[in-house]
């Protein structure tokens, strides 16, 4: 008898719990992101960070000033700079850069761009004739964070040791 009463009580609690559930109105996650196409378009610089990679690697610390990286966005008129990646469907085609008074972050003003992976690229290679330059993709633009982060890495010409990097955060123009 006791067992039957206990079972009825448990069943009642379970029914109550199930009754209290109701569907939540979650927002749509949006269309699937295709990284290669998300790179296409005209971008302008939002933030520039310069890093001493050796100081980062060795975790150098100075209480007075950050010796690992510095925000240099406002040091020079980077806001003038624009870069356009053109494409045809999933295929990268040409690129152009407009400097204005900004320091040149890439050596080329126009040419073709390619990627190391057709769908999920991590490296963008800019080419004009025999001149090439590689940009490392640090972050793709997404609906939640529409920022494209590109990194220019500079290595010791003899040892290939990474010494300096510039991280450029772009937003769509």
Partner 1 sequence: MLKYRVMKKILSILFLSCLLMAAKAQNPTFSPSSFTALDQVTLTVDVTGTPMAGQSEAYIWIFSNPAGNGPAKDGIVNGSWTSSSLDGKMTAAGTNKWSFTFTGITLFQLTPGELNNFGFLVKAKDGSKQTPDYKPYYFDPLVFVPKAIRVFPAKVDVDDIVNMNYERTLTTTTDEQRMTPVSATITMFDDANNQVGTPLTVTNIRKTGTDVWTVYFIPSTSFTPPAGKKLMKFRCKFNGTLLNTSGATVTVTSSEVETTFTTMK
- Of residues 73 through 112, those in contact with partner 1 by CB under 8 A are 75-76, 103
Q: Which of 71, 40, 45 is nearest to 168 (CA)?
A: 45
Distance of CA 11 to the CA centre of its chain: 51
Q: Does 67 bind partner 1 (CB under 8 A)?
A: yes
Q: What is the dihedral of CA 121, 115, 34, 142, to 10 degrees?
A: 60
Nearest CA to 126 out of 138, 136, 134, 118 is that of 134
Verify binding: residue 130, partner 1, rule CB under 8 A. Answer: no
The one segment of 14-22, 59-67, 79-87, 139-147 that binds partner 1 by CB under 8 A: 59-67
Please select the residue that binds partner 1; options are 156, 171, 172, 173, rule is CB under 8 A.
156
From 47, 52, 80, 94, residue interacting with partner 1 (rule: CB under 8 A): 52
What is the number of alpha carbons within 13 Å of residue 98 lying toward its C-beta? 10
Nearest approach, Cβ of 162 to partner 1 (angstroms)?
10
54 binds partner 1 (CB under 8 A): yes
**Residues with Cβ < 8 Å from 46, sequence gap 6 or more?**
73, 147, 169, 170, 171
Nearest distance in Å: CB 62, partner 1: 6
- Residues in contact with partner 1 by the rule CB under 8 A: 50-55, 58, 60-62, 64-65, 67, 70, 72, 75-76, 103, 154-159, 161, 163-164
């Amino acid at each position: 008898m006791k067992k039957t009463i206990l079972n009825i009580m448990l069943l009642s609690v379970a029914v109550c719990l199930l009754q209290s559930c109701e569907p939540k109105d979650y927002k749509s996650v949006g269309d699937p992101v295709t990284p290669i196409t998300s790179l296409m378009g005209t971008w302008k610089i939002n933030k520039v960070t310069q890093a001493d990679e050796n100081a980062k690697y060795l975790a150098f610390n100075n209480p007075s000033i950050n010796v690992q990286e510095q925000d240099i966005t406002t040091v020079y008129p980077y806001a003038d700079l624009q870069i356009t990646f053109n494409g045809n469907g999933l295929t990268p085609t040409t690129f152009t850069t407009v400097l204005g008074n900004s320091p040149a972050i890439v050596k080329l003003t126009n040419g073709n761009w390619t990627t190391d992976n057709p769908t999920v690229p991590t490296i963008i290679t800019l080419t004009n004739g025999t001149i090439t330059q590689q940009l490392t993709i640090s972050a793709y633009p997404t609906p939640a964070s529409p920022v494209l982060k590109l990194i220019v890495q500079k290595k010791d010409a003899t040892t290939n040791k990474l010494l300096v990097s510039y991280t450029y955060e772009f937003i769509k123009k």
